């Protein structure tokens, strides 16, 4: 495009939306521009003119008395703007029935001068009358010879995994699977069809205990690939017609993440968390509006279809424009903890036990940590997921539960590790923060007892760092703080190094400060 065309495109980046039917310009056609930046489509304008012409055919507009009455009631000003009149009350003291009807008619609120017709009052429109940008669509860019995604710029699987290794500890199998799946998916998007062989989508289902890094893995992946990402929760989805988010709201969130650019959104990633919460309900007599029906409604999304989604809202019933999005090239990643799935796997594996000296015991798999790695499609089906839904998620992999050694690595190895965040905070106060190996092991031991995964690490560190973050800004002489195992376990305190290399404990430092305050008060 030339410089003039680029300038015009940037000025008119968003499409116009009809003020009445809320359809964008790409669907409704050319718009009529009215005062105060109000746009009306051709269909709505013709409907309005047809209504006015019907009134004209009935003789209402040809009656000079009616026109004069309408002009008086609407209080037409010189500039053509209408003002809503106040309620009119006549001073007629007659008791006739006709006069009483006339009086009551004038006491009714004014509805535009004509029966059953309400005109839009432009003064009631706040601002300039335009639609907010979050509810407007971006215009489609002019087609160019270059493809949307260059296949040469897609990073190889080993490069994707190497970047994930910098942020995520462990989960080697999961990182390898997701790297290959993403690489194949974007090759499919870049090439379209290859020798009349259409490549199927590589949607994924990840299963892992809480706090093992499912959501963090997808967030890191989207940040590295620089593609729009929408993270939604399956617990809010309900069947159409019920209170809750419609199924199409999943794609609507991706469209908002892509700044309402349909072409960019069609190459994005949608991560649906807590997917196990839409499993079929067991032993219930009520209608399952957030279970199996939601799975059935998501089938067309996962497989790929053109659907109408609201722009800037979660419901189609909202007065917002609708646009069509093709989900054929959108990568869907579903994740869930699937509680009680371990019991289903153990029940299946224990059926193979026999009687005798070499027989396997029924409690053989009770102490196995990574029992989820033995999951099969039959186990997921028994959990409550319908076969049609599982069939559209061909790649199924599991994440390992975090061990104590992995907890210690999570604390210090990733680029944005928790310890590095606190070290950066104290570095702004010119204080160096260090952790002993024993302190890291004590933190990991406490986190393992809470059984909430990596989320427990932040809660534990916040607890014992409270006093340190409160006391350090009081004294500018503190140069280094070393966290010890005794301080984590509550049997001692951290080591405080003053800038003149004199070591003291935090407790003794507090005692000296209290003594000084008491002395000052006595003086």
207 strand-pairing partners: 336, 398
pLDDT at residue 360 in the model: 57
Task: Record the pTM.
Answer: 0.69
> Residues 90-107: what's their mean pLDDT?
51
Q: Which two tokens stand for residue 515?
A: 């003594």
Q: Which two tokens stand for residue 6?
A: 């680029």
> Residues 195-200: what's their mean pLDDT?
72
Of the candidates 286, 233, 281, 297, the one whose C-alpha atom is nearest the C-alpha of residue 384 is 281
Of the candidates 335, 212, 209, the one whose C-alpha atom is nearest the C-alpha of residue 276 is 335
Helix (H) or strand (E) holding 409: helix 404-412
Q: Which two tokens stand for residue 494?
A: 């951290």
pLDDT at residue 121 in the model: 46
| H helical segments located in 77-171 | 97-107, 157-165
pLDDT confidence tier of residue 332, bands split at 50, 70 and 90 = very high
> Residues 190-199: what's their mean pLDDT?
68
**To the nearest whole number, what is the mean pLDDT of the chain?**
76
Domains observed in the chain: 3-135 (no CATH), 151-398 (3.40.50.300), 404-522 (1.10.8.60)
pLDDT at residue 455 in the model: 86
pLDDT at residue 119 in the model: 43
pLDDT at residue 443 in the model: 92
Tell which wins on pLDDT, 459 or 322. 459
| In the predicted structure, residue 391 carries a pLDDT above the cut 60 | yes
Q: Which two tokens stand for residue 173?
A: 């199998």
pLDDT confidence tier of residue 206, bands split at 50, 70 and 90 = very high
Helix, strand, coil share of the chain (percent; to 5): 45, 15, 40
- pLDDT tens per residue, range 104-150: 544 444 444 444 444 444 444 444 445 566 666 666 555 444 445 56
Beta strands in 13-68 (DSSP E): 31-34, 38-41
- pLDDT tens per residue, range 437-475: 899 999 999 988 888 888 888 888 888 888 888 888 888
Q: CB within 8 A of 297, min separation 6: which ones?
A: 239, 240, 247
Phi, psi of 30 (to 5 degrees): -65, 140
- pLDDT tens per residue, range 360-382: 555 566 666 678 888 999 999 99
């Amino acid at each position: 495009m030339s410089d003039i065309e680029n300038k015009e495109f940037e000025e008119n980046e968003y499409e116009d939306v009809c003020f009445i039917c809320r359809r964008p310009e790409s669907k409704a056609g050319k718009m009529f521009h009215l005062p105060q930046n109000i746009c009306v489509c051709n269909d709505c304008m013709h409907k309005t003119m047809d209504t006015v012409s019907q009134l004209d055919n009935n003789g209402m507009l040809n009656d000079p008395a009616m026109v004069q009455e309408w002009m008086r009631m609407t209080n037409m000003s010189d500039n053509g703007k209408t003002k809503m009149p106040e309620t009119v009350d006549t001073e007629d003291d007659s008791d006739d029935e006709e006069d009483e009807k006339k009086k009551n008619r004038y006491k009714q609120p004014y509805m535009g001068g004509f029966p059953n017709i309400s005109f839009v009052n432009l003064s009631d429109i706040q601002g300039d009358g335009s639609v907010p940008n979050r509810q407007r669509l971006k215009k489609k860019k002019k087609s160019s010879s270059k493809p949307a995604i260059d296949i040469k710029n897609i990073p190889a699987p080993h490069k994707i995994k190497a970047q994930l290794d910098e942020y995520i500890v462990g989960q080697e199998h999961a990182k390898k699977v997701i790297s290959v799946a993403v690489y194949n998916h974007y090759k499919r998007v870049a090439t379209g069809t290859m020798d009349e062989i259409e490549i199927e989508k590589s949607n994924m289902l990840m299963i892992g205990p809480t706090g093992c890094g499912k959501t963090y893995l997808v967030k890191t992946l989207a940040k590295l690939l620089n593609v729009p990402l929408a993270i939604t929760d399956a617990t809010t989805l309900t069947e159409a017609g019920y209170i809750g988010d419609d199924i199409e709201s999943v794609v609507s969130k991706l469209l908002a993440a892509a700044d309402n650019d349909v072409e960019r959104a069609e190459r994005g990633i949608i991560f649906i968390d807590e997917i196990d919460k839409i499993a079929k309900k067991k032993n219930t007599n009520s209608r399952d509006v957030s279970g199996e029906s939601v799975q059935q409604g998501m089938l067309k999304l996962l497989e790929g279809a053109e659907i109408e989604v609201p722009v800037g809202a979660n419901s189609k019933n909202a007065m917002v424009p609708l646009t069509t999005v093709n989900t054929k090239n959108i990568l869907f990643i579903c994740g869930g903890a699937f509680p009680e799935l371990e019991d289903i796997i153990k029940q299946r594996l224990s059926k193979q036990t026999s009687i005798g000296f070499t027989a396997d015991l029924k409690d053989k798999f009770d102490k196995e940590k990574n029992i989820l790695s033995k999951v099969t499609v039959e186990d997921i089906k028994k959990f409550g997921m319908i076969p049609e839904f599982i069939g559209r998620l061909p790649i199924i992999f599991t994440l390992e539960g975090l061990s104590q050694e992995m907890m210690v690595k999570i604390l210090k190895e990733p680029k944005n590790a928790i310890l590095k965040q606190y070290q950066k905070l104290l570095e702004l106060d010119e204080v160096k923060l260090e952790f002993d190996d024993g302190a890291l092991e004590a933190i990991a031991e406490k986190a393992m007892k809470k059984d909430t995964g990596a989320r427990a690490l932040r809660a534990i560190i916040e607890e014992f760092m409270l006093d340190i973050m409160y006391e350090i800004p009081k004294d500018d002489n503190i140069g280094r703080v070393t966290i010890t195992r005794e301080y984590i376990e509550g049997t001692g305190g951290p080591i405080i190094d003053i800038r003149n290399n004199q070591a003291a404990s935090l407790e003794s430092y507090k005692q000296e400060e209290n003594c000084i305050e008491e002395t000052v008060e006595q003086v």
